[in-house]
Amino acid sequence: MINEEEFSEQFTKVLDTVIEAMTESPEIEPEKFFSMVCVLENLQYFGPVIFSALKVNSKE
């Protein structure tokens, strides 16, 4: 079972990978890119909540 710290590190890596993929995609418009990056970066702050929700669901 993964702990909260490991989850946070992996979650951050995934979000960074998504942002990097978006920068390499010619289909992403700059205005939409910046808005989406803000959303993805804000998701990092919800990592503990997401971890708790996943932890509860895995116990059921």
> Global pTM?
0.77
- pLDDT of the residue at 57: 67
Decide if pLDDT at 1 tops 80. Answer: no
Chain centre distance of CA 35: 14
Tokens in use for 1? 């079972």
- pLDDT of the residue at 60: 59
> d(Cα 41, Cα 30) in Å, to the nearest integer?
16
15-60: pLDDT as tens digits: 999 999 999 988 888 888 899 999 998 988 888 898 998 887 666 5
Q: Are residues 22 and 37 in contact, defined by beta-carbon separation less than 8 angstroms?
A: yes
